[in-house]
Amino acid sequence: MERIAEVIVVEGKYDKNALSQVVDAPVVTLEGFSAFHNREKLSFLRRLAEKRGLIIMTDSDGAGFVLRNFLKGALPPGQVKHAYIPEIRGKERRKRKPGKEGKLGAEGMRPEILLDVLRRAGATFIDEPSAAPSDGDPVTMTDFFEWGLSGAENSAERRRALLRRLSLPEKLNARALLDALNLLYTREQVYTMLQDSGA
């Protein structure tokens, strides 16, 4: 599996599933047009762009280009790369009939096409595991349990307080919060923030 340094931004969970079987990279979903009104999500994407760089991979249909153009105007251009899905007619396996324009989305692309699209976008492929950026040990679900962010009576409220403090989208579940923390902070930084807040 190819490793990529940047965070890949896709439209939905099925696109994320398809990419996660091809590359080892963080993948964030837009959840469709809700991104237009979600300031927290946009702020999160800006922070990821600054920290890791982003690759926008939307579908080749009209809706995909509306999303891409919105993000082009909302994100810093120097920190964003664009991966363009080819226009291939067809239907994804999970669907009963083709989409409105009859084109396959990211989820319907063969793995070799997805890799080619990412290469053409200028993705940073990491050849050796030792070449990966490392800031020490990652935050784990065990840490969440020990820090009271999961498994305790008030864990959900503690996570919400942490999300507010870090200006992260409030709807992130525990797993998504864990991923976000590991993309943006070191384990030591998260622990220190929790201690400073008295959480």
Q: What is the predicted pLDDT for the residue at 131? A: 40
Using the predicted structure, report yes or no on whether residue 165 has a pLDDT greater than 80. yes
In this prediction, residue 79 has a pLDDT band, given cuts at 50, 70 and 90, of very high
Identify whether 134 is part of a domain. Answer: no
N-to-C CA span, the chain: 38
Rounded to an integer, the average pLDDT of 22-34 is: 90
125-138 pLDDT, tens digit per residue, is 987 444 444 557 88
Q: Do 62 and 158 belong together in one domain?
A: no
- What's the whole-number average pLDDT of the chain? 87
pLDDT score, position 132: 42
Which of 129, 164, 182 is the last residue in one of the domains?
A: 129
Q: Do residues 75 and 31 both lie within one domain?
A: yes
Over range 2-6, report the average pLDDT. Answer: 93
Inside any domain, residue 135 = no
Calculate mean pLDDT across residues 160-186: 84
Residues 30 and 58 in one domain: yes
**Boundary residue ending a domain (129, 156, 173):** 129
- What is the amino acid identity at position 184? L
pLDDT score, position 192: 86
Whether residues 119 and 145 share a domain: the answer is no
90 within a domain of the structure (yes/no): yes
Strand positions, DSSP E, 11-85? 23-24, 27-29, 54-56, 80-82
Distance CA 146, CA 58 (A): 38
Q: Based on the domain organization, do 169 and 120 belong to the same domain? A: no
- State whether 13 and 91 are in the same domain: yes
- Out of 79, 94, 129, a domain closes at 129
Whether residue 101 sits in one domain with residue 177: no
Report CA-CA distances (Å) from 182 to 4, 33, 104.
Answer: 15, 26, 32
118 and 154 inside one domain: no
Lowest mean pLDDT among 21-25, 112-116, 143-147, 160-164: 160-164
In a domain, 136, yes or no: no
Kindly report the CATH number assigned to the domain that includes residue 122.
3.40.1360.10
What is the arithmetic mean of pLDDT over 20-30? 93
Q: Quick one: which H or E segment has residue 15?
A: helix 13-20
Pairing of strands 80-82, 27-29: unpaired
Give, for 48, the enclosing helix (H) or strand (E).
Answer: helix 39-51
Whether 80 is covered by a domain: the verdict is yes
What pTM was computed for the model?
A: 0.77
Give domain status of residue 145, yes or no: yes
**Whether residue 111 sits in one domain with residue 181:** no
Domain match, 34 and 99 both: yes
Judgement on whether residues 158 and 189 belong to the same structural domain of the protein: yes
The domain containing residue 145 runs over which residues?
141-197
> Per the structure, how many domains does the chain have?
2
Q: Which of 118-127, 131-140, 160-169, 186-195 tops mean pLDDT? A: 118-127
